[in-house]
Amino acid sequence: MASIIAAVPKPIVVAVDDDARVRESLESLMDSAGYKTVVFASAEDCLQSDALQRAICVIADVRMPGMDGIELQRRIRLQRSQLPIIFISAHYEEEIREEALQGGAADFLYKPFDVTTLLAAIRQAVGRD
């Protein structure tokens, strides 16, 4: 029975954040919650990979060097219009939050976020609540 369970691939969550500590924390949290996490330090690196084609959800920072999270969202929408995106931000900017949500973001959380809230947002976004 264990071999059957091991053969089932974990759902993939893509995490994009320029802060290495945040990426490590997200990877650890997602692993403990039963997800495989593919992490990227930039939006550009994320878009150049094939991870988005296999992902069930994206967690992205808003403010990053180079392409920001809002532009990443726009580009993801061109590839996979229904892929849920959850934003995380250390900066309280209501205009950016509204822009993200109007652009189809599943949720918008502020750092430091509660892990239970993030996991609930993922479950809701992917229809597993």
Mean pLDDT of 48-67: 96
What is the CATH code for 10-125? 3.40.50.2300
pLDDT digits (tens, 9 = 90+) for 7-57: 678 999 999 999 999 999 999 999 999 999 999 999 999 999 999 999 999
* pTM for this model (two decimals): 0.90
What pairs with residue 61 in β-bridges?
A: 88
3-state helix, strand, coil split of the chain in percent (to 5) is 45, 20, 35
Q: What does the mean pLDDT of the chain come to?
A: 92
Sequence spans of domains, the chain? 10-125
Closest by CA position to 68, among listed 12, 14, 18: 18
pLDDT surpassing 90 at residue 4: no
**Which phi and psi angles does 67 have, rounded to 5°?**
-70, 130
pLDDT grade, residue 74 (50/70/90)?
very high
Distances from the Cα of 46 to the Cα of 21, 80, 81, 126, 129, angstroms: 18, 14, 16, 20, 27
Closest by CA position to 119, among listed 69, 60, 70, 59: 59
